[in-house]
């Protein structure tokens, strides 16, 4: 199969690229492949989006908006204590007038048919498992993963080998910590001279609550409790229509406490009296988790390589202080399309264009805010204030530090007092949470979480870090099981929600997430 | 000999369904839709019969909304030769569907009509049998094995007591059970090829079929919550509780 | 007032439990006549007699025809349809594979819709039935000017009592019986152990059982109870049992009358497979295990002591 452009990932960046390419030249043959069973099924984001790129890409969109799209209303920023909350002045990045609270999954689901109408071919249920290279070492396309492979690697009766999709240019739009882009960055040394990329883990639940509790359009962001001052974290509550509300929590993966349990922090956040009274008696419609890219300007790799380029968060275009990445992801896709259309599909020069664009300027301006939090909450806030006031013009760029290296060893970290509630809101535990992610993997397929050395788990890691994977995974994939066979790592691959946190945070860098069979994974509804 | 396979567009089996708070139904807006899994098995069986040389053309048919075309496209991508959409925006009643399929069977004259034993949305499990009755042909339901020899078919059926084998003269209706086969993966190049295959559009009225009087759904509620939580202190107490309930 | 006809299911001279449940359901219609039709190829007094004993039955009709030697929907449906012309307002059958196969054909011959899996009678033409595998319950209203065909969900009704004393009548039926469907053979489940998917009693083991070897005590208890055997996904993942024994959202979804969960914590995914069970018993040494919140009878105990003790107590 051969195209002008193959785009890996049907998220906002990938779809924006596809649409723009077709708008500029309807003869361009564009194909988008997507590992989820349906477009939007593995998209998870807050999300409050800035609409300008959408206005440019699809001018009439406001007359025909996607589902779950409400204009932003009241903004608030709270500093939480265990039971109280102090209203804080709203940082300028958090003014949302003119923005929209959306379900990013619903947005993508709405973009896809519009792309198809322009002639883009979209194939959900197919995972790009490998990059194809030509004899000169340029990217030549991607290979779809085999389907019908048994757990032991043999071919099941329905075995279907993956096909190669070749293209003049390949656009990687895999989202945060893409599995192919991870390899490509290494191969082409695209991170040369850059700061290490850093991440957070984001949890989200969509709730249906009793009448009279929600205020459509209301946007709440919080810092403070339940996270301690040395850990970066914060919560959000976004009110949709029809008594639906999204609650979520982000924990920076630069956390140091080996015993930290991010899922627990999210669940505690929900039990804060102000949040709990909103949720109590309601029910969970959908839930999930996803890593979120935080490194910003200094960590963004070179976004082009021979035969390919990267758009959106697989490079890292998210604006952390705004907690918004959709507008920059889309714009990076539009810029990519414009560049490719103007230059016979050659990616060369795209990186410079992106950095010189509004996306680059925006990321540059806020580049020092997130790294400032490596020193704790208060210094981070002061630094953030300084950087905001000076508009990022101070002649310095703070370095980041790789997340996998930030854990302190058990016993060396002064574990903070965690003042937690006895929880009674669902989900009771991660397994119950996974149920609402509707994640599905054929159990008889190779385990897609490759742990290079499981001996470390029962010996070194247990001692040094107390197996943090059993806590940072939002889906309880990793378990240390002790039974008649002894102590061992058990990987419950079928629970995986494709968040990529394990690939990022494991302190020995021995976990590699690869794509399971196409169509596997979460089936998020309206997240 | 032709095979006609009847498929239905349903909420995907992975979806955690939500009952609407006003009890007017189940939320389907924005929800993932797919081909009824039992119908996928029916399509697969037709493909295998074609590969074995028993049939030479597979027609996929559905009654449903315009978007049900997607399910027909899936059937075409799996290998069906052409498709027919009988378009309706009404909730599909089994008797109406059966009248439609019997009418189409009368026109297309397939040797075998295949469909799933039930749809996973309404779980009615009637359409195959009704189609057979209206078509005045045999039915072989809950099939776990199908063997076509000349003018008849031997079908092994999953029944409560075990397995039963019957022989039916063709043409006949066969409804599929879970263990009949495992549907193949749709290959990417085949999805592309399927775009060139035809889907004919028609309606219930155009076919001259009278829609059946519907079963009116007046309320849709979540299942009653179970009251759990009772504890017993000993095995003896457990045994006596079970005896009281007549379970042992 | 309704006049109900029940289609009896029988095998080897025995009336099926499903028939008794259909009769029990029919009682809720408050019918003026509740009659049972028994189709046989010869004899049949034992089956007809058993039907006549069911509480509420007002008459049993015995229809004899050589074609009825094996229950074939194509053969029985025209006979039922013919009987129905005698003014019956409702035709019911149990939701066994026999009933599920037969009733839609009858309904189509009569030109009427069918209500599948009746859980509750709310009115003469108003019923509750499950959809989406029981994840939602609908109330449906059938047209009141047509014969009502329905299958009755066995799990929702107890069997009718046996205090009846109805008359058995031989009935001739005028129906054209097709020749196009023929019985070839039957293979009854050979295994001594009932099939997990349909067994009325099931015993399942979880990760708490600890090993493949230890699963012996689960099998032993199951055999004592005459139950099928299942397992949680954790037990399957740990390699204690093969995966066709998995009960749960990604395994089998079952609805036995009695479900005994041993060493199973009760994750929601397992719950999805058993939520329709009649009585759920849990044995687990962890009193915080989620399964205790939903089990009808919970015993906090070491399964290695409790299970053998339970087996002994069943002697």
Distance CA B76, CA A387 (A): 58
Work out the average pLDDT over C45-57. 96
Residue C183 included in any domain: no
Ordered DSSP codes for C241-293: S-GGGBBSTTSB----SEEEEES----HHHHHHHTT-SEEEEEES-TT-THHH
- Conformational region of residue B109, where left means phi above 0, alpha means psi within -120 to 50, and beta covers everything else: left
Rg (CA), chain C: 22
Task: Domain ranges for chain B, please list them.
Answer: 2-223
- Alpha-carbon gap: C257 to the closest alpha carbon of chain A (Å): 25
Rg (CA), chain A: 22
Domain end, chosen from C117, C150, C171, is at C171
pLDDT in tens, A149-198: 999 999 998 899 999 999 999 999 999 999 999 999 999 999 999 999 99
Domain count, chain C: 2
Work out the average pLDDT over C90-109. 97
Judge: B15–A523 Cβ closer than 8 Å, yes or no.
yes
Clarify whether residues C56 and C7 are in a common domain. yes
Say which of B95, B133, B160 has its CB closest to residue C198: B160
Ordered DSSP codes for B10-59: EE-TTS---B-TTSS-B--TT--EEE-HHHHHHHHHHHHHHHTTS-SEEE
Distance CA C105, CA B134 (A): 8
**Per-residue confidence at C310, pLDDT binned at 50, 70, 90?**
very high
Question: CB distance from B73 to chain C under 8 Å?
Answer: no
pLDDT in tens, C124-174: 999 999 999 888 999 999 999 999 999 999 888 888 899 999 999 999 999
Rg (CA), chain B: 21
Half-sphere exposure of A297 (CA within 13 A, CB side): 24
Clarify whether residues C136 and C21 are in a common domain. yes
Q: How far is C-alpha A335 from the geometric centre of its chain's CA atoms?
A: 21
Question: CB distance from A119 to chain B under 8 Å?
Answer: no
pLDDT in tens, A226-242: 999 999 999 999 999 99
Distance CA A497, CA A512 (A): 15
pTM assigned to the model: 0.92
Work out the average pLDDT over C200-222. 95
Asked if residue A363 has pLDDT above 90, the reply is yes
Domain end, chosen from C153, C171, C189, is at C171
Which residue, A15, A251, A232, is CA-closest to A120? A15
Proportion of chain A in helix, strand, coil states, percent, rounded to 5: 30, 25, 45
Q: What is the pLDDT of residue C17?
A: 87
Q: Which residue ranges in chain B fall short of pLDDT 70? A: none
Distance CA C300, CA C251 (A): 26
The CATH number given to whatever domain includes residue C116 is 3.40.50.620
Tokens representing C10 are 């029988």
Q: What is the pLDDT of residue C189?
A: 65
Which DSSP state fits A241?
S
Say which of A427, A431, A443 has its CB closest to residue C243: A443
Distance CA A298, CA A371 (A): 10
pLDDT in tens, A456-477: 999 999 999 999 999 999 999 9
Clarify whether residues C110 and C228 are in a common domain. no
- Alpha-carbon gap: C155 to the closest alpha carbon of chain A (Å): 26
Judge: C74–B19 Cβ closer than 8 Å, yes or no.
no
Interhelix angle C97-110/B127-135, nearest 10 degrees: 50
Domain with C42 in it: 3-171
Asked if residue C190 has pLDDT above 70, the reply is no
Long-range CB pairs of C142-146 (<8 Å, 24+ gap) are C142/B215, C142/C113, C142/C115, C143/B213, C143/C112, C143/C113, C146/B213, C146/C110, C146/C111, C146/C112, C146/C113
ipTM score for this prediction:
0.94
- Alpha-carbon gap: B66 to the closest alpha carbon of chain C (Å): 23
| Residues of A (185-204) whose Cβ lies below 8 Å from B | none
Residues in A touching B188 (Cβ below 8 Å): 1, 123, 126, 144, 163, 165
The CATH number given to whatever domain includes residue C221 is 3.40.50.1220
Distance CA A177, CA A500 (A): 7
Question: CB distance from B19 to chain A under 8 Å?
Answer: no
Residue C182 included in any domain: no
C-beta of residue A489 within 8 angstroms of C-beta of residue A249: no
pLDDT in tens, C119-132: 999 999 999 999 99
What is the CATH topology of the domain spanning B2-223? Rossmann fold (3.40.50)
Judge: C267–A431 Cβ closer than 8 Å, yes or no.
yes
pLDDT in tens, A279-303: 999 999 999 999 999 999 999 999 9
Residue C195 included in any domain: no
Tokens representing C192 are 């001594």
Distance CA B170, CA B87 (A): 28
pLDDT in tens, A400-456: 999 999 999 998 988 888 889 999 999 989 988 999 999 989 888 999 999 999 999
Tokens representing A380 are 């981070």
Size of interface A-B (CB pairs under 8 A): 56
Name the residue in chain B with its Cα closest to that of A522.
Answer: B14
Q: Is A388 exposed, middle or buried (0-12, 13-18, 19+ CB in 10 A)?
A: middle
Residue A177: helix, strand or coil by DSSP? Answer: coil
C-beta of residue A240 within 8 angstroms of C-beta of residue A50: no
Residue C124 included in any domain: yes
- Alpha-carbon gap: B99 to the closest alpha carbon of chain C (Å): 9
Q: What percent of chain C has pLDDT over 70?
A: 99
Distance CA A219, CA A226 (A): 19
Clarify whether residues C121 and C261 are in a common domain. no
Work out the average pLDDT over A306-313. 97
Judge: A490–C207 Cβ closer than 8 Å, yes or no.
no
Tokens representing C88 are 């019956």
Which residue, C131, C68, C74, is CA-closest to C108? C74
H helices of A46-128, in order, are 52-57, 104-117
C-beta of residue A30 within 8 angstroms of C-beta of residue A3: yes
Distance CA A52, CA A236 (A): 23
Question: CB distance from B128 to chain C under 8 Å?
Answer: yes
- Contacting partners of chain C (3+ CB pairs under 8 A): A, B
Judge: C306–B235 Cβ closer than 8 Å, yes or no.
yes
pLDDT in tens, A318-332: 999 999 999 999 999
Which residue, C124, A158, C232, A449, is CA-closest to B40? A158
| Residues of C (230-289) whose Cβ lies below 8 Å from A | 237-238, 243, 249-250, 267-269, 272
Give the list of residues 6+ apart from residue C273 with CB closer than 8 angstroms, or none.
C247, C248, C249, C251, C252, C253, C254
Which residue, A397, A417, A404, is CA-closest to A508? A404
Residue C280 included in any domain: yes
């Amino acid at each position: 199969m051969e195209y002008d452009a193959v785009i890996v990932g049907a998220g906002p960046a990938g779809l924006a690229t596809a649409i723009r390419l077709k708008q500029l030249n309807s003869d361009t043959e564009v194909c988008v492949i997507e590992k989820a069973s349906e477009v939007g099924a593995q998209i998870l984001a807050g999300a409050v989006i800035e609409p300008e790129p959408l206005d440019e890409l699809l001018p009439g969109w406001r007359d025909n908006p996607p589902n779950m799209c409400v204009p932003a209303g009241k903004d608030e920023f709270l500093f939480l204590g265990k039971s109280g909350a102090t209203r804080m002045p709203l940082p300028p990045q958090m003014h949302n007038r003119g923005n929209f609270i959306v379900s990013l999954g619903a947005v993508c689901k709405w973009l896809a048919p519009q792309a198809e109408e322009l002639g883009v071919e979209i194939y959900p249920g197919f995972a790009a498992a490998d990059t194809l290279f030509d004899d000169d070492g340029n990217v030549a396309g991607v290979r779809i993963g085999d389907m019908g492979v048994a757990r032991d690697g043999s071919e099941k009766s329905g075995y279907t080998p993956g096909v190669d999709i070749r293209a003049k240019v390949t656009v990687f739009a895999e989202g945060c910590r893409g599995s192919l882009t991870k390899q490509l960055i290494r191969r082409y040394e695209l991170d040369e001279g850059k700061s290490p990329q850093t991440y957070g883990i984001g949890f989200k639940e969509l709730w249906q609550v009793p009448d009279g509790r929600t205020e459509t359009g209301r946007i709440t962001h919080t810092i403070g409790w339940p996270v301690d001052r040395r850990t970066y974290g914060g919560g959000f509550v976004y009110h949709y229509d029809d008594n639906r509300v999204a609650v979520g929590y982000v924990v920076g993966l630069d956390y140091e406490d080996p015993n930290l349990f991010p899922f627990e922090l999210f669940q505690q956040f929900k039990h804060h009296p102000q949040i709990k009274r909103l949720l109590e008696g309601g029910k969970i419609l959908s839930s999930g988790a996803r890593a979120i890219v935080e490194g910003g300007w200094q960590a963004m790799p070179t976004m082009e390589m021979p035969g390919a380029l990267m758009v959106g968060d697989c490079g890292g275009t998210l604006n952390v202080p705004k907690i918004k990445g959709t507008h920059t992801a889309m714009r990076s896709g539009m810029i990519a399309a414009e560049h490719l259309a103007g230059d016979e599909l050659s990616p060369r020069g795209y990186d410079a264009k992106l950095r010189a664009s509004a996306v680059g300027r925006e990321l540059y301006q806020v580049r020092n805010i997130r790294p400032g939090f490596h020193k704790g909450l208060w210094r981070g806030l002061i630094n953030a204030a300084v950087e905001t006031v000076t508009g990022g013009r101070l002649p310095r760029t703070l370095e980041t530090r790789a997340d996998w290296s930030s854990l302190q060893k058990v016993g060396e970290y002064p574990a903070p007092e965690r003042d937690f509630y006895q929880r009674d809101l669902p989900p009771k535990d991660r397994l119950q949470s996974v149920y609402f992610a509707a994640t599905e993997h054929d159990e008889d397929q190779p385990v897609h979480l490759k742990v290079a050395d499981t001996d470390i788990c029962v010996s070194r890691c247990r001692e040094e870090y107390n197996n943090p994977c059993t806590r940072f995974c939002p889906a309880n994939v990793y378990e240390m099981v002790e039974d008649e066979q002894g102590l061992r790592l058990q990987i419950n691959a079928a629970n995986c929600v494709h968040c990529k946190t394990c690939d990022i945070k494991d302190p020995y860098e021995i976990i590699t997430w690869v794509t399971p069979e196409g169509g596997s994974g979460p089936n998020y509804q309206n997240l | 000999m032709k095979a006609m396979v009847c498929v239905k567009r349903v909420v995907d089996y992975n979806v955690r369904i939500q009952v609407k708070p006003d009890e007017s139904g189940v939320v389907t807006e924005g929800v993932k839709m797919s081909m009824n899994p039992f119908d996928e098995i029916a399509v697969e069986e037709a493909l295998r019969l074609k590969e074995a040389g028993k049939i030479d053309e597979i027609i996929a048919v559905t009654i449903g909304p315009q978007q049900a075309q997607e399910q027909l496209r899936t059937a075409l991508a799996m290998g069906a030769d052409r498709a027919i959409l009988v378009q309706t925006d009404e909730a599909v009643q089994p008797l109406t569907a059966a009248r439609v399929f019997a009418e189409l069977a009368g026109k297309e004259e397939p040797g075998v009509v295949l469909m799933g034993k039930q749809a996973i949305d309404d779980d009615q499990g009637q359409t195959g049998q009704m189609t057979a009755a209206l078509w005045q042909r045999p039915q072989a339901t809950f099939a776990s094995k199908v063997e076509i020899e000349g003018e008849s078919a031997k079908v092994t059926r999953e029944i409560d007591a075990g397995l039963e084998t019957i022989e039916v003269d063709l043409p006949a209706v066969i409804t599929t059970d879970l263990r009949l086969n495992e549907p193949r993966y749709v290959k990417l190049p085949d999805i592309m090829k399927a775009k060139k295959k035809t889907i004919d559009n028609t309606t219930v009225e155009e076919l001259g079929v009278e829609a059946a009087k519907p079963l009116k759904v007046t309320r849709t509620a979540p299942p009653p919550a179970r009251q759990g939580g009772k504890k017993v202190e000993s095995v003896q107490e457990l045994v006596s509780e079970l005896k009281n309930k007549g379970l042992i | 007032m309704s006049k109900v006809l029940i289609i009896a299911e029988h095998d080897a001279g025995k009336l099926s439990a499903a028939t008794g449940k259909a009769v029990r359901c029919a009682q809720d219609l408050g019918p003026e006549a509740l009659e049972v039709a028994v189709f046989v190829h010869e004899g049949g007094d034992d089956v007809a007699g058993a039907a006549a004993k069911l509480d509420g039955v007002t008459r049993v009709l015995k229809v004899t025809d050589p074609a009825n030697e094996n229950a074939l929907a194509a053969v029985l449906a025209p006979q039922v349809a013919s009987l129905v012309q005698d003014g019956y307002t409702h035709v019911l059958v149990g939701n066994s594979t026999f009933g599920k196969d037969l009733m839609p054909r009858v309904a189509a011959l009569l030109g009427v819709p069918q209500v599948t899996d009746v859980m509750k009678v709310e009115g003469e033409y108003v019923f509750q039935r499950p959809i989406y595998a029981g994840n939602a319950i609908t109330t449906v209203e059938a047209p009141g000017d047509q014969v009502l065909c329905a299958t009755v969900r066995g799990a929702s009704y107890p069997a009718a009592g046996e205090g009846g004393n109805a008359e058995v009548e031989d009935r001739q039926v005028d129906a054209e019986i097709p020749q196009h469907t023929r019985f070839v053979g039957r293979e009854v489940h050979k295994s001594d152990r009932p099939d997990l998917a349909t067994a009325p009693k099931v015993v399942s083991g979880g990760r708490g059982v600890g090993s493949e070897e230890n699963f012996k005590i689960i099998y032993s208890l199951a055999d004592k109870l005459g139950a099928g055997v299942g397992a949680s996904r954790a037990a399957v993942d740990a390699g204690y049992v093969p995966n066709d024994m998995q009960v749960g959202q990604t395994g089998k979804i079952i609805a036995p009358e009695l479900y005994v969960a041993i060493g199973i914590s009760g994750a929601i995914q397992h719950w999805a497979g058993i939520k329709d069970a009649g009585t759920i018993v849990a044995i687990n040494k962890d009193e915080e295990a989620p399964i205790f919140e939903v089990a009808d009878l919970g015993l906090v105990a070491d399964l290695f002591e409790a299970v053998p003790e339970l087996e002994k107590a069943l002697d």
